[in-house]
Chains A and B, each alone.
Chain A
Amino acid sequence: MKYEVVMGLETHAELDTKSKLFCGCSTKFGSEPNTQTCPICLGLPGVLPVMNKKAFEHSLKAALALHCEISKFTNFDRKSYYYPDLPKNYQTSQNYFNIGNNGYVDIVVKGKEKRIDIHNVHLEEEAGKLVHPETTGANYSLVDFNRAGVPLLEVVTQPDMRSVDEVESYMQTLRNILLYIGVSDCKMQEGSLRFEVSISLREKGSNILGNRVEIKNLNSMKAVLKVIAYEISRQGSLLDKGEDVLMETRLWDDVDSVSRRMRSKEEAHDYRYFPEPDLVPVWIDQGWIDETQATIPELPVDRHRRFVNEYTISDYDAGVLTEDKPLADYFEECVKMSQDSPKELSNWIINDVLRELNERKTNVQDFAISPEMLVELIKIKPTIGSSIAKDVFIEMINTGKTATSIVKEKDLTQMDDVSELDDVVTKVIEENSKAAEDYRLGKKSALAFLIGQTMKITKGKANPKILTEIFKERLSADPK
């Protein structure tokens, strides 16, 4: 492609608080319409907002996790526009004095790190939701204000992303960070995490930014990736024809997979921002910053780096493990308790634990096998063998019992005793003299058959290593 694509992202994340940003209403998702409302979040005449401190603390935490410069003085501003889902016809947001500015997020794309600059992080209130009747020809719409006033974090990047992969990695990294620090549940199906992307194209090597198109209404990462592909081809073909890309806001239609013009630059809103006189400024002192900083756990990218260095696991494995904080915690708990190599533990978690979690559609927090139980299984694995260990693993999930008790109950301990095994081998050779003869004559594959027969008799408990040695010794020696 002869064009370079330049992209920036605005992310809205609903903050995880019990009550709304400016009133005491619950933020619970999925309740009956308008059951979580009060005069304040309905914008009745005469009401006033009072800020939820928890929401502010969450925002401060997010700004710190995104390495922002924290403003000593922050204030809310009113952003004016008319829409029926906005009770006051202005949104209380931040414009002139954001909580955080000039931060960054480090992302990893194909093993390479890249820094995405954050323009600002600020706090604002969520709007309600329009409900359009399903009957055709209905001439009304309804509004549900349950979401109106839920605290919303907005994270705005600089136009630093140059590929779909970078955008995808940024979205995942940001989501992980917000989950890691526990400020948002980031449930995209509930609209807790939403994106707006700005895209422009320019000739490769050019320093001048092309006309920017903003696309709103992106409720999933998949939609973001789709819209980028769509816009790159739409804008590219305009430029190929020598036409201008119009500076405008477009809306993504997920059903038809197209973007449509929402408003042109000329029709752009004048939000008439001014300081919110009903709220008082919030001053953030160093003590508050330090206190909040102390509550931020190690972030995914740092943990990823550490896992590779400290546990000498692969970059890929470290990536998989750190993508989900509870999973990474699970891994580290196992490492702490175990004498086995972190590599062995990581293999079990990535191959077996993750497979079962996916199949059973559950998460690691609710997983039947605790780190302790997994470590125990891996510890006794040499005594039962790999293949039985896998069976025991499944049995543990189904019954919740420990590996030791399952092995004991089902008498699954490996047969390691040479004389005991010798007797069985004698019997197998007698019954399969043809195969034994074949092996002696140099047919190596006959050995596998003989071992298989032995395993059948011992119900898989025979130690395969010892067994192989006995067979080799017996069948290489001269026949009596």
Chain B
Amino acid sequence: MLSHELSANQIKEKIVKREITAQEVVEDLFEWINLMEPLIKAYLYLDKDGALLKAKEIDKKLSNGDKVGLLAGIPVAFKDNICTAGMKTTCGSKILENFIPPYDAFVVKRIKEEDAIIIGKTNLDEFAMGSSNENSAFHITRNPWNTDCIPGGSGGGAAAAVTADMAFMALGSDTGGSVRQPSAFCGNVGCKPTYGRVSRYGLVAFASSLDQIGSVTKDVSDAALLLQVVSGHDGFDSTSATVGVPDYISDIDSVDGNLRIGVPKEFFGEGLNPEVGSAVMDALEIYKRNGAELVDLSLPHCGYAVATYYIIATAEASSNLARYDGVRYGHRSQLSEDNIIDMYSRVRAEGFGSEVKRRILFGNYVLSAGFYEAYYLKASKVRNLIKNDFEDAFKKVDCIISPTCPTPAFRIGEKITDPLQMYLSDIYTIPANLVGIPGISVPCGFTNTGLPIGMQILGKHFDEEKILKVAKLFENETDFHLKKPELN
């Protein structure tokens, strides 16, 4: 087996045991990337020199017998909306095309401290707004299982990179499903922790009350490893939780007895692709065989989740994206400017793509005088009702299982002209963001045409430990996570 095909835990073990050097891992990886990248186009930026430098540093530490970090030698990619000091961070937007942050995001700092190797920045829908990666201002990333298909969004680049073995693990952001949905479409493990579990400091904001940093990995153990490193309180994020971080890694194979799994009827209704539905049903049978109790549930307000989400997310986005005005950094129009308003208009007209503009307009509309109560305030109330639904549900069950997405990956261009259809692609992932609970997508089957299907496991606030264990139980019983697309 080639080194890039191994999981993060596996490669780390080999490096630490000095069966292979970190330098060799990086060299092999970049060779593979050179081969694959023209086909997949997962990356916006690659830093081979930086990666090699860091690899050598880790090899030296190991040869000196020095202590190394939890992620020693593991090549990691970042979605390009996470700030990396000295390395371009574009958010997939023209407006930040040449922006180089002067600081590292909290998660970047953490993984550097644990001796991971940063290899580059992955593609995304502009400012993480999209479900297909087609909204990237630079190029479209392709699904490694079928290059005519989208990899999902907004973190399609990260998911495609991990699936195609072009990165061992990646960190992305999940505002309405941007980690879980592409992971489902690309057949890897995508985990969105509880809101507040991982600091958002340095994650370029899309919708502040929904954004959460999440992991894209080849298997559940890798997810546990990465989460272990990035979770925990950060004084630079006021919404970062002070709740203690348990050990995700050691006991991952031991699910406590009497597992009660909620099966919400609202997640298995109209619009669900039958192949996806039956794959998840089969998965539930596996849990049952392993002693789990399946509990039928209703989450009555989830029908309003997409509408609620698009009001809150766009409202926050319209304000978060106001700072891109060309005054201090970012794109500045080459056309002459008569006054400051003129300058703002040109910068933003030239710098933003159409989906971002649509959402800014929508967000400004729902916040404007006379509409605030009818839209934003009402959406906030519905959000609370949805929270109550989940609170009630979690009194009865340990976790909730559903399909991650209603369909498998769709074809490039299929939904780009129909925003509403595109938005519905996140119908099962959005509630977790509105409620703030953790969710993980794991591969649970394939369609007849060979596209991966994802199953979503949702847990209580700060109960990542449980959903990781439930996911691992399934992984132990199946081999979907080991399947690799045929590339070349």
Q: With a CB–CB cut-off of 8 A, which chain A residues contact B208?
A: 277-278
Residues of A within 8 A of B236 (CB): 48, 50
Residues of A within 8 A of B238 (CB): 48-51, 278-280
Instruction: Evaluate contact between A84 and B96: CB separation under 8 angstroms.
Output: no
Interface residues of B in 166-218 (CB under 8 A from A): 200-205, 207-209
Cβ–Cβ < 8 Å partners of A89 in chain B: 322-323, 325
Interface magnitude class on chain B: 35 or more
**Which of the listed residues B91, B99, B209, B325 has the most CB atoms from chain A within 10 Å of its own CB?**
B325
Per-residue CB contact flags for chain B residues 222-245 toward chain A (1 = under 8 Å, else 0) read 000000000000011111000000
Chain B residues closer than 8 Å to A270, beta-carbon distance = 368-369
Cα-based distance from A328 to B319 in the complex (angstroms) = 48
Q: Which residue of B lies closest to A83 (CB)?
A: B340
Shortest distance from the beta carbon of A313 to any chain B beta carbon, whole Å: 51
Are the CB atoms of B325 and A82 closer together than 8 Å? Answer: yes
Asked if A88 lies at the interface with its beta carbon under 8 angstroms from chain B, I say yes
Q: Would you call A80 an interface residue if the criterion is a C-beta within 8 Å of the partner chain's C-beta atoms?
A: yes
In the complex, A44 Cα to B91 Cα: how many Å? 13
Taking a contact as CB atoms under 8 Å apart, the answer to whether B322 and A46 are in contact is no
Asked whether, in the complex, the Cβ of B83 is within 8 Å of the Cβ of A45, the reply is: yes
The distance from the CB of A407 to the nearest CB of chain B, in whole angstroms, is 62
Report the bound CA distance from A389 to B238 in whole Å.
63
Chain B residue nearest to A51 (CB atoms) is: B238
In the assembled complex, the Cα of A48 lies from the Cα of B204 at a distance in Å of: 10
Chain B residue with Cβ nearest A81: B322
- A297: interface (CB < 8 Å): no
- The listed residue with most A CB atoms (<10 A of its CB), out of B96, B235, B344, is B344
A82 x B322 contact (CB < 8 A): yes
Q: Which residue of A lies closest to B337 (CB)?
A: A139
Give the distance to chain B from A283, nearest Cβ to Cβ, in Å. Answer: 14
Residues of chain B with a CB closer than 8 A to A279's CB = 238-239
Nearest CB on A from B322, distance (A): 4
Does chain A have a CB within 8 A of B105? yes
The answer, yes or no, to whether A415 is at the interface (CB within 8 Å) is no
A:265-292 near B, CB below 8 Å:
270, 272-274, 277-280
Contact B322 A50 (CB under 8 A): no
In Å, the complex CA distance between A299 and B103 comes to 46
In the complex the two chains form, is A39's CB within 8 Å of B103's CB? yes
Digit string of A354-366 for contact with B (CB within 8 Å is 1, else 0)? 0000000000000
Q: Within the complex, what minimum Cβ distance (angstroms) separates A196 from chain B?
A: 20
**CB-CB < 8 A to A80: which residues of B?**
319, 322, 367
Q: How far is the CB of B185 from chain A (nearest CB, A)?
A: 26
Assembled-state Cα–Cα distance A270/B207 (Å)? 21
How long is the Cα–Cα vector from A174 to B319 in the complex, in angstroms? Answer: 34
CB <8 Å contact, A272 and B328: no
Q: How far does the alpha carbon of A82 sit from the alpha carbon of B344 in the complex, in Å?
A: 9
Q: Are B325 and A277 in contact (CB under 8 A)?
A: no
The contact of B323 among A48, A51, A87, A280, by CB within 8 Å, is A87
Min distance, Cβ A463 to any Cβ of chain B, angstroms? 73
Nearest residue (CB) in B for A76 is B238
The reply to whether A274 and B376 form a contact with Cβ atoms under 8 Å apart is yes
- CA–CA, A252 and B96, complex, Å: 38
Within 8 A of B (CB), among A396-412: none
Q: Which residues of A contact B115 (CB under 8 A)?
A: none
Tell whether A238 is near chain B: CB-to-CB under 8 Å. no
Cross-chain contact B327 with A143 (CB below 8 angstroms): yes
Question: Which residues on the B side are within 8 Å of A48 (C-beta)?
Answer: 200-201, 236-239
Q: Which A residues are CB-close (under 8 A) to B318?
A: 272
Interface string of B90-122 (1 = CB under 8 A from A): 010000100101110100000000000000000
B323 touches A46 (CB 8 A): no
Cβ contact within 8 Å between B204 and A272: no
Q: Does A47 contact B (CB under 8 A)?
A: yes
CA of A274 to CA of B368, assembled, Å: 10
Q: Give the residues in chain A near B423, CB-CB below 8 Å.
A: none
Q: In the complex the two chains form, what is the Cα distance from A45 to B323 in whole Å? A: 8
Taking CB atoms, residues of chain A closer than 8 Å to B81 are: 46
In the A-B complex, the 8 residue pairs with the closest CB atoms = A89-B322, A277-B208, A272-B367, A277-B209, A45-B204, A46-B202, A46-B83, A46-B204
Q: Could you list some 24 contacts between A and B, CB below 8 A?
A: A39-B102, A39-B103, A43-B323, A45-B204, A46-B81, A46-B201, A46-B203, A46-B205, A47-B201, A48-B200, A48-B201, A80-B322, A80-B367, A83-B340, A84-B340, A89-B325, A143-B328, A272-B369, A273-B367, A274-B315, A274-B319, A278-B205, A278-B208, A279-B238
